[in-house]
Structure 1
């Protein structure tokens, strides 16, 4: 499919696209551009490289004839300086209208140079939300004629805690169209966009492709926060018949220490790989762990040594490693012809869904989403308060820890998670570790 008239792009823009090698629209452009040109609010969801940035740049450039008036008509909000520069470079690649003024706003020592640039005139502003808000409050950013507000990498905007300036800027614009582009969509992102999006069309494209590896069976548990992850882990540990041997992956030593204390205090036998304190039970290798009856081995993801994870019934990623390749290397099943007795479980919050998506794209397969156990205690989100309240809350948590949210249950009453009977029977019949 070539760039057709039904996409409602100006002829000069189509010619420019062909000149730079964009000979045909990608799936996300086919599904969104007609809606965007029709004036509808749109949320575009797709993986990195699917064409999201090109999509909204085309929508922005299509707003202008060859006589722009130097007053912002398009505001593009992105999470950081690097993305600001990337977007402007791509605009310059496609744009042939040299009278169009594009201004970048991002955190840098001093604000005067950016204020001066805005005073000289700007048609498209590409900015981080915090710097755009700061210049708006100094009356340097005129939002009265903005027709198109775009938020790109919205999941990273949320992850960096920039929701407030986004919402304030959006609510300050008298009337405009809104476009949001993201790799994943979740409750926190929806909460940010709800105040200003008007019945948006949600367009999602998937680029998972064909499976590239044979992997161990996997399950994803989506939970709201860290505290609920701890509760879920402790709930699993109540079932000593099923969860006989676990390697638990975390990203940092402080997290490892918290989980070690929580499990140890709840009488779960637990150790650390290469412990950093003498008073902690630990192992110098995975082989030592396999040969004893300790149930849980906590591994910090920055460990350089390659682990032999064969014969470990459960691999639980309490946190996903920074590098997706680290996770994938653990999931690859080198003996697919043999009945697989390893189950890989991942705990993830909304903010970790981007990492999950990248893993799915790299492996060519979706990770099945598991239902949360009915008796799992969901921790409430902690809201910011004054220092005294935070200190009191921390003191109470320390006093009640670990797992204060749980009611003690017998293991026989706690098995409400959703494993197939065959899998559970297989795990129960595994050779006992001694």
Structure 2
């Protein structure tokens, strides 16, 4: 195999400098095949899996070929979802940062159209959009294709699956002259071939071998655990390995909500990304996740498209994905930028047919792993604290503390006993029965629908997760009363609306930007709910939730 470099692709010095600055050393197979062909003006159909660098495969030549001095739309890119449209826009802006006058505008549903109208009026050489919103702008006359030179369809087969064929073909009716057409698709079914035959001119077909589908730096495990214990498994794996940033995938929106509620009850800051979230909520959740304010982000496959976050330690497949492509896309969120990553897939009993199929497709068997035991978690927690203790000893500056310990050791206790007592206080060690109870699923739904987000059910040291939703010391307020510094806020939705604690937390955090971990006790009644909100956030909640919805229901909010 020839060692091709980007310098061999006849790119401008500015583009080569940008690519080098982004850390790309050599083109991927799809880039090496497609960039030269697109640069030469050929129509291209590329078949490649997610994670092969296909955005750059069409983005680099698109930027290279446009006229930056013209503010007319010269390239239009169509994506099946707004998340992918946002991701592609971001990638193009990175690739084109050396082009001073380059303007890339995303247009998609879920965002107020007035923002897009203003952006289009200012002018853009590249427009990235979803088919429905693109047709909307074309019909309004706010998007003109008089100077269009290139049309790109990304994930064309997904657009067909989502019913966008008519929109895809309608776009061609607005062009005023010949255009170069580029299409990327994981598969090439008959409808794709029909579009190729009708609208493309002798297209070059580029197919990338699907044999190597997963990154070698991702450790992949299968954990056999029944459905009811999967939240417990996530908790133990997080604790044993001290993971900081995790991503969990479920096959349904309902399951994401259930898992988020369960993990929140265990003391984790968890939020969801699914199709029920507005774009504003989605953006806020992602901003919190990137900042590290969220421990575990829970997503469906479709909603996760476009998620691009570095430093994800681990991916959990709560449900086995139906398609090997989804599996690859999921675990590819970890182990990025040359770092190692880990992925766990949960399976009940014997391996399912889907899991066997995935293993055949990726040509790799997942390594079996047992769910960590309670003693494993305790040992890991002890090891972490001992490591912290060693680091503190090595850093020095302990003289005044040594003096105090020596003074105390003159009494009936040895220095070893004093050190053991301090370590016990740090660990919050409890009797074995209590330790076992902390790892039982918390009973957060009492007779009144009450819900507490303060850890495993008992006050226990979980590093920076200790005591979330509780005051210092872990004391809970009496029933009906709010904890110190918290105000009880009433929401006009309850059990009759099938609202869960996760629904309330997600809506409040998404609409107001308040970290989910700051929200306290939740009490869900038949017709309404009470949520403890930190006093300083109450005005923000009252203002931010005025026009908000919870589980599709408009809510009225007042201080309870």
Higher relative contact order (CA 8 A, sep 6+): 1
Q: TM-score, normalised by structure 1?
A: 0.50
Structure whose alpha-carbon radius of gyration is higher: 2
